[in-house]
Structure 1
Amino acid sequence: MDAIIAQLQSLALTSALPYLLKAVGALVLWFVGRTVINGFRRVLNLALQKRQLDATLIRYIESLFAGSLTLLLLLGILGMMGVETTSFAALLAAAGIAIGTAWSGLLSNFAAGVFLLVLRPFRVGDEISAAGVTGVVQEIGLFATTLDTSGNLRISVGNNRLFGDNIINFTHHPHRKIVVNLPLLYGGDLRLQMRALLEMVSTQPGVLQQPAPAIEVAEFTALGPVLGIGVHCKPTQATAVHAAVAGAAADFLVASGYSVAVDTARQLTAKVG
């Protein structure tokens, strides 16, 4: 029995103890490596913020930086444990090719996300219309962009669909033009009514005075002229300003005695430009 115990002790010292020491060393290397990576990540974040880059782009670069260093750290730990890293790297490359072939659509979304961040057709907080969706951009992710619609719905759209479609950015410029069409019947002093309507519209909340509001005759129909009421506002106030201008136009119709023919089924319509 003593001989068996002695053999077990000798086996533990010659075989188990080195593996235990390697495991402890791997744990220490992991925690130290992660601490160093997090430190580099914070330094990178401060450097990018000093350059006043977009917050989404900063997070994007941080994720790529931390992921690459973490992968190198894992390879180093495996090498310290005695695992052949060359064969592991070859296996990883082969798996990458297989995954890339199977997930070609996902990779195209990734590539499109990089181009969206570099070319900047829109930023987080912009209201855009693309790929059949209109909403405020909440996040530009690695593979998809998240938008919140006016109906309080959250929609995620693949970056490749956004990048391959026409993108309308409603908030790129400091002001936005709204045109409200007002159909009228013939009769009355049209010029006088246009001036009165312009004074009423100019006082509405959110309507900018520069560029100045304007009212023009958009077209003539068999029943009467159609006025185009054009005003400018801040992009974030477009919906409220449209409602205010349309309400002012309705009040003007009542006060001036104008009426809209019922059989034409024409109502106040809006076109945002």
Structure 2
Amino acid sequence: MEKKELQYIHSFEEYVNEFINALIAYSPKLISAIFILIIGLYGIRLINRMVKKIMLKNEFDPTLSRFLASSLLWALRLLLFITVISRLGIESSSFVAILGAAGLAVGLSLQGSLSNFAGGVLIILFKPFRVGDSIEAQGVAGTVNEIQIFTTKLLTSNNQTIFIPNGILSNGIIINYSLQGVRRADLVFSLSYDTNIKTAKDIVMKVMTNHPKVLKNPLPAVSVKNLTDTSIVLAIQPWAKNADFSSMSSDILEQCKDAFDKAGVSIQPYTIEASK
């Protein structure tokens, strides 16, 4: 073998020996870091389960419980990560500085997402609506299916899923139809001027009084809303529980139409409508 090749072999053996020695010297830190990681992950899982059980026992709001549990989970994971890299010999102060700089850069590039996150926190804390509530916001209406960190998921009456960013949702007007437990329908009939107003009102009141889903308290009401050039506009206002609202509104319109037909009351065909 040539002298040069022998030198290469000798150098390689030195590198291998140095690597093995360094690995042996570093192995206690590596083993302890792996041990801390395993115990830490198990502990985080245990703490997360305990927190969920405590919140469930104390009847915390489900949305708030999920948010707090998720936030605690990621906070503990971050703390564990810093502990592990510190055990490996990496200065945690330097890492925190790097993480802060990276966080600032990411924050500047994700201002919209941070706004949505802040909006999600506000919604969870102040509870303008809950999961299962029927709301109207940003020009759409539906039932709240899920409140996520960045978006709120609505399910419309025709089974469409709508995602609204929490930032604009928390800063806009929200109509919560479920908050009070009952709703009033604002139904409208336009009748011919040949109609006797008292007779028409009596017919409507009878229909509402006999309907099982119309509440007796608050009392239903019927009144003249307007007198246009072509018709008498009658306002019909029955109350119902949220779950019965849609079916009750439809029934009242149908039954009033049938009752008007039997009584010979003429309806203007182009102005029958119901509120949303």
TM over 0.5: yes
Match of 1:246, SS? helix
Q: RMSD across aligned C-alpha pairs, in angstroms?
A: 2.4
Give 1:246 deviation, angstroms: 0.9
The one-letter amino acid of 1:184's match is L
Superposition pairs of residues 121-136 of structure 1, within 5 angstroms: 121-136=128-143
Match of 1:203 among 203, 210, 218: 210
Moved more, 243-252 or 197-206: 197-206
User: Structure 1 pair 224/9, CA: closer, same or farther in 2 (3 Å)?
Assistant: closer
Give 1:22 deviation, angstroms: 3.7
Match of 2:7 in 1: none
**Any conservation in 1 of the 2:200–2:260 contact (CA below 8 Å)?**
no
**Any conservation in 1 of the 2:203–2:256 contact (CA below 8 Å)?**
no
Determine if the alignment matches structure 1 residue 137 to structure 2 residue 144.
yes
Provide the rounded CA distance (Å) in 2 between the counterparts of 1:148 and 1:188.
42
Match of 1:74 in 2: 81
Determine if the alignment matches structure 1 residue 154 to structure 2 residue 161.
yes
Give 1:155 deviation, angstroms: 1.2
Superposition pairs of residues 27-66 of structure 1, within 5 angstroms: 27-66=34-73
Give 1:207 deviation, angstroms: 1.5
Q: Structure 1 stretches of 5 or more lacking a match?
A: none
Give 1:38 deviation, angstroms: 1.6
Superposition pairs of residues 1-273 of structure 1, within 5 angstroms: 11=18, 14-261=21-268, 265-266=270-271, 268-272=272-276
The one-letter amino acid of 1:112's match is G
Give 1:85 deviation, angstroms: 2.1
**Any conservation in 1 of the 2:195–2:266 contact (CA below 8 Å)?**
no
Provide the rounded CA distance (Å) in 2 between the counterparts of 1:259 and 1:144.
49
Give 1:14 deviation, angstroms: 2.7
Provide the rounded CA distance (Å) in 2 between the counterparts of 1:29 and 1:10.
29
Match of 2:186, SS? strand
Moved more, 23-32 or 161-170: 23-32
Moved more, 166-175 or 24-33: 24-33
Provide the rounded CA distance (Å) in 1 between the counterparts of 2:16 and 2:119.
60
Task: Kindly tell me the number of residue pairs found equivalent between the two proteins.
Answer: 268
Provide the rounded CA distance (Å) in 1 between the counterparts of 2:29 and 2:241.
63
The one-letter amino acid of 2:36's match is L
Give 1:205 deviation, angstroms: 4.2
The one-letter amino acid of 1:119's match is F
Deviations 1:151-208 (A, max 9, x none): 2111111111101111110111021000211111123543133223211222224211
**Any conservation in 2 of the 1:135–1:150 contact (CA below 8 Å)?**
yes
User: Structure 1 pair 19/205, CA: closer, same or farther in 2 (3 Å)?
Assistant: farther
Provide the rounded CA distance (Å) in 2 between the counterparts of 1:102 and 1:7.
48
**Any conservation in 2 of the 1:182–1:249 contact (CA below 8 Å)?**
no
Provide the rounded CA distance (Å) in 1 between the counterparts of 2:146 and 2:251.
31
TM, length-normalised to structure 2: 0.88
**Any conservation in 1 of the 2:186–2:237 contact (CA below 8 Å)?**
yes
Give 1:21 deviation, angstroms: 4.5
Provide the rounded CA distance (Å) in 1 between the counterparts of 2:72 and 2:156.
32
Match of 1:150, SS? coil
Match of 1:212, SS? coil
Give 1:18 deviation, angstroms: 4.0
**Any conservation in 2 of the 1:201–1:248 contact (CA below 8 Å)?**
no
Give 1:103 deviation, angstroms: 0.8
User: Structure 1 pair 110/150, CA: closer, same or farther in 2 (3 Å)?
Assistant: same
TM, length-normalised to structure 1: 0.89
Provide the rounded CA distance (Å) in 1 between the counterparts of 2:224 and 2:160.
38
**Any conservation in 1 of the 2:152–2:166 contact (CA below 8 Å)?**
yes
Match of 2:206, SS? helix
User: Structure 1 pair 216/20, CA: closer, same or farther in 2 (3 Å)?
Assistant: same
